[in-house]
């Protein structure tokens, strides 16, 4: 079977699987966040942490919960790494250096999962399980909670309450992420993903050389790594490592996991606002852009312009032969469209245009379909900007889902959108201006620019994947990328919660003859165009100097 035929079959299976879970998973998540009942486990947690689950919060209180919880999580994860030498199952691996520990703590708490170290050589099982795996659940649950708070802003009328952050966080982790991740961890083990508390296994090569193959509790982290759109691998090679991703079926399941919740959340949105067509429009826009980028990357990798790749007939560098070009392109497009950052091939080895596809996918704001929660609230913010632009064209006050979009709402949406480009472009520019940055680049010219731009785009969008040709172990990169992760995560969250609070205080205005319908192709085109237009106006100059220039060279 040709690679093209295999790829088309895999895409078909993936789309069918997503269609099958779309309705039940989307409706289930809507019930989770609208139910008035608390599970016994949840009541125990609320009692332990002295939380009143029936008390709702204004948006500043909700935001303080997000920030406070995240800050404590960063501190605890940092200390866990610094104290690794005295922890069980550390296998003689000492304390993580301060710079890497700080960068990693911020990275996993912000759902970025950027890794500037080799996990199997740096971290023991206790830090992997009690630190990184736990944050994979919690950081995803935070994003989910913020998205639900914004949806409540559209649903509720003349109130200053958005729900309870601690309840939303708990329900997202306990009722959604934990059971699905546990189920698929078993599935991955059955497919050959390792799950072991041993440090490694000693082997003897055919030449008589002794070596140790590292082992880890892989499957339990792999399932939530993909499901929570986290992306941090337990091995340095990430999902290209056979212990994390041994075959085509495990690869397809991992792609399904990183897409299923972001895609199904559009159904949750439609169900909660009482008009499922609203969700269908969002998922259509997401899917159209995702398919366009996939086609772009696939064509670029199968029609290369380098002499070695032309002789081989395709760009096979940096790709696992058990996956091939099609599955590598599918994984790359999906992981950068969902803020996951996991990789089953090396994006740095893609062609100029092929690598530009994942990079552009990140720079679109990762709303196609985006991360767990972040994709939904991200595209809703863009929808507000789109409606504002439509209102300017017809000279009337814009509205969306019965809520007027005034100065406060549009300002909050603009801040949410502008935060990411600000940290990406400022970080990239500052890094390229520093005299010592050149030593961190393994490539010069356009590809070197692409490597630096990709690093800050990945950090600012909480993706975590990288062009591996850039060495980021210096204090400059460790600290500035951590700042980019924090600002790229929390500034949009604060702006989104402010927007949600403002929307919830309004009463619903009735539709009139001048109201733009938001369930048809006109609005879908407007929304998709706004997503592309914002990225084009912001990043095309940088892309032209990087991947586009490399492709034309």
Q: Are 466 and 237 in contact (CB under 8 A)?
A: no
Please name the residue ranges forming H helices in 110-160: 119-122, 125-126, 134-155
What the block records as the tokens of 285 is 């826009």
Q: What pLDDT, on the 0 to 100 scale, is given for residue 149?
A: 98
Q: Supply the DSSP string of 469-524, one letter for each residue.
A: TB---SHHHHHHHHHHHHHHHHHHHHHHHHHHHHHHTSPPPPP-TTPPPSSSHHHH
Q: What pLDDT, on the 0 to 100 scale, is given for residue 312?
A: 64
Q: How far apart are CA 285 and CA 524, in angstroms?
A: 6
Residues in Cβ contact with 125 at an 8 Å cutoff, skipping those fewer than 6 apart = 89, 90, 91, 197, 216, 217
The domain ranges of the chain are 3-552
Q: What pLDDT, on the 0 to 100 scale, is given for residue 51?
A: 95
Q: How far is CA 106 from CA 76, 132, 322, 343, 431, in A?
A: 11, 11, 34, 20, 20
Within 10 A of 39 (CB to CB), how many other CB atoms are there? Answer: 13
What the block records as the tokens of 265 is 């959340």
Q: How far apart are CA 107 and CA 131, in angstroms?
A: 12
Q: How far is CA 216 from CA 112, 176, 226, in A?
A: 21, 25, 17
Per-residue pLDDT of the chain (553 residues; tens, 9 = 90+): 688 898 999 999 999 999 999 999 999 999 999 999 999 999 999 999 999 999 999 999 999 999 999 999 999 999 999 999 999 999 999 999 999 999 999 999 999 999 989 999 999 999 999 999 999 999 999 999 999 999 999 999 999 999 999 999 999 999 999 999 999 999 999 999 999 999 888 888 888 888 888 999 999 999 999 999 999 999 999 999 999 999 999 999 999 999 999 999 999 999 999 999 999 999 999 999 999 999 999 999 888 776 666 666 678 888 998 998 999 999 999 999 999 999 999 998 898 889 899 999 999 988 999 999 999 999 999 999 999 999 888 777 789 999 999 999 999 999 999 999 999 999 999 988 887 676 677 777 888 888 899 999 999 999 988 887 778 878 888 899 999 999 999 999 999 999 999 999 999 988 887 788 999 999 999 999 999 998 888 998 888 888 888 887 7
What the block records as the tokens of 407 is 């100065």
Please name the residue ranges forming H helices in 217-351: 218-227, 248-273, 276-302, 307-312, 324-337
């Amino acid at each position: 079977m040709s690679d093209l035929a295999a790829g088309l079959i895999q895409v078909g299976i993936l789309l069918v699987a997503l269609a099958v879970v779309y309705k039940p998973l989307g409706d289930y998540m809507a019930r989770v966040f609208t139910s008035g009942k608390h599970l016994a486990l949840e009541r125990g947690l609320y009692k332990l942490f002295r939380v009143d689950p029936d008390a709702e919060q204004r948006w500043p209180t909700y935001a303080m919960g997000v920030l406070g919880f995240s800050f404590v999580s960063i501190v605890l994860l940092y200390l866990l790494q610094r104290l690794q030498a005295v922890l069980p199952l550390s296998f003689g691996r000492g304390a993580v250096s301060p710079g890497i520990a700080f960068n990693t703590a911020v990275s996993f708490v912000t759902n970025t999962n950027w890794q500037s170290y080799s996990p199997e050589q740096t971290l023991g099982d206790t830090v992997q399980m009690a630190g990184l795996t736990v944050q994979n659940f919690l950081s995803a649950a935070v994003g989910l909670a913020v998205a639900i708070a914004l949806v409540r802003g559209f649903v509720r009328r003349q109130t200053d309450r958005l729900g309870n952050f601690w309840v939303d966080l708990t329900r997202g982790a306990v009722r959604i992420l934990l059971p699905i991740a546990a189920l698929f961890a078993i599935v991955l083990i059955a497919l050959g993903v390792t799950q072991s508390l041993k440090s490694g296994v000693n082997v003897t090569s055919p030449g008589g050389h002794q070596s140790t193959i590292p082992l880890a509790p892989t499957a339990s982290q792999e399932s939530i790594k993909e499901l929570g759109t986290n992306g941090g691998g337990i091995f340095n090679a990430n999902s290209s490592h056979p212990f994390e991703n041994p075959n085509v079926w495990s690869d397809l399941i991992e792609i399904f996991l990183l897409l299923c919740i972001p895609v199904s959340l559009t159904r949750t949105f439609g169900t909660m606002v009482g008009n499922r067509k609203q969700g269908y429009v969002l998922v259509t826009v997401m899917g159209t852009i995702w398919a366009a980028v996939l086609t772009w990357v696939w064509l670029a990798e199968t029609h290369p312009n380098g002499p070695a790749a032309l002789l081989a007939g395709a760009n096979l560098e940096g790709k696992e032969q058990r996956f091939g070009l099609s599955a590598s392109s599918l994984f790359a497009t999906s992981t950068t469209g969902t803020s996951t950052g996991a990789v089953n091939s090396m994006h740095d080895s893609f062609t100029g245009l092929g690598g530009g596809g994942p990079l552009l996918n990140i720079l679109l704001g990762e709303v196609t379909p985006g991360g767990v929660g972040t994709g939904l609230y991200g595209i809703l913010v863009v929808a507000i900007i789109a409606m504002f632009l439509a209102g300017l064209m017809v000279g009337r006050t814009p509205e969306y889902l019965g809520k007027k979009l005034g100065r406060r709402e549009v300002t909050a949406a603009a801040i949410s959108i502008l935060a990411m480009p600000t940290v990406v472009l400022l970080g990239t520019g500052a890094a390229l201006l520093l005299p010592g940055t050149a030593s961190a680049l393994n490539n010069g010219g356009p590809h070197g620019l692409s490597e630096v731009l990709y690093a800050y785009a990945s950090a600012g969008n909480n993706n975590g994947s990288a062009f591996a040709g850039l060495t980021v172990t210096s204090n400059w990169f460790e600290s500035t990328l951590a700042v980019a992760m924090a600002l790229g995560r929390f500034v949009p969250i604060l702006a989104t919660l402010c927007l949600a609070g403002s929307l919830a205080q309004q009463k619903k205005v009735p539709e009139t003859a001048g109201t733009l319908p938001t369930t048809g192709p006109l609005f879908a085109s407007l929304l998709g165009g706004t997503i592309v237009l914002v990225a084009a106006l912001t990043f095309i100059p940088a892309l032209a100097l990087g991947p586009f220039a490399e492709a034309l060279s």
